Amino acid sequence: MTTRNTPVSPLVLGAMSFGTLVDEETSFALLDRFVERGGVWIDTADCYSFWVSDTGQGGASEEVLGRWLAARPHARQQIRISTKVGAEPLWPGSWPEHRAGLSPRAIRAAVEGSLERLGIDRIDLLWLHQEDRTVAIEETVDALAALTADATVSRVGASNHPAWRIERARAHAKSLGSTPIDALQLNSTYLRTRPGTLPPGVAHPFGVLSDEQRDFAVANGIEIWAYTPLLSGAYDNPAKPVPEVYEHPGTARRLAALDEVSDARGLGRGQIVLAWQLARGIRPILGGSKLDQLEVAMDAAAIALSVDEIALLDGPL
């Protein structure tokens, strides 16, 4: 637990690899340190991480979090859990053609499973993991409205959805007097991909934060959460090259600006990227698997970039 003088961190701890690529002992150590550093939000999903699990299906991350919460009962007073529904394969090897989807029945079943694995009675933020155009968005919202009405879910958000479907969902929720979607989770980092390309790990045509989505979110007071903000370490680790989709003239200019700010500050490029996102009102999700990575990333929350530094970083491509 944090002490009275520990500031609350705006960063999110991503638990995607817990129970698969990150063993339970390390997962517990990361969670404990995150809480000690003032962390509040922990992000997972019912499908994490089916692609590397022994069963070919998800649930391992939520199960590890459930065991951690059971072992740290007082932590629930401080932390908030966000999890996602809709992307779990219907059977091993069936993704993406056959996944749970966002029908009311699928959402109810997924939430019941998540609550059981997490060992909690309330999900603080439930995400629609990726859009499902086989289901009318109004039907999906009806299911969310029932969950918020009985306090099973406190807030709802959407990941990997176009802005127009979010607007339609919000309008329907308001017509019901229900809780509208108030958070978007999308891929976002400092560098920008070439037009028509998607970053590694993003399989959704609307999975990367666009200028339109950000404008829509800002205009409507919707939170933005960013996954893979650090390009899996490529900003600071020479052994991890920047993905090819970012190779264009604008990247050279952006990296030069990033180098200028980070060198002047004596900080890592990744820390400046996190500070830049926070300055833009974006909540980065940390996906590291080592304590030293967590410490460095959480230090970035205390970095206040100057107006001039932000202007330099935001310069034209």
Please give the positions annotated as active site. Answer: 48
Measured distance CA(237)–CA(178) in Å, rounded: 45
How does strand 123-128 pair with strand 80-85? parallel
Residue 226 has phi, psi (to 5 degrees) of: -115, 120
CB 163 within 8 A of CB 211: no
Give pairs for 237-245: CB < 8 Å, separation 24+. Answer: 242/191, 243/199, 243/200, 245/193, 245/194, 245/197, 245/198, 245/199, 245/200
Q: How far apart are the first and last CA of the chain?
A: 43
Amino acid at 217: A
CB 252 within 8 A of CB 191: no
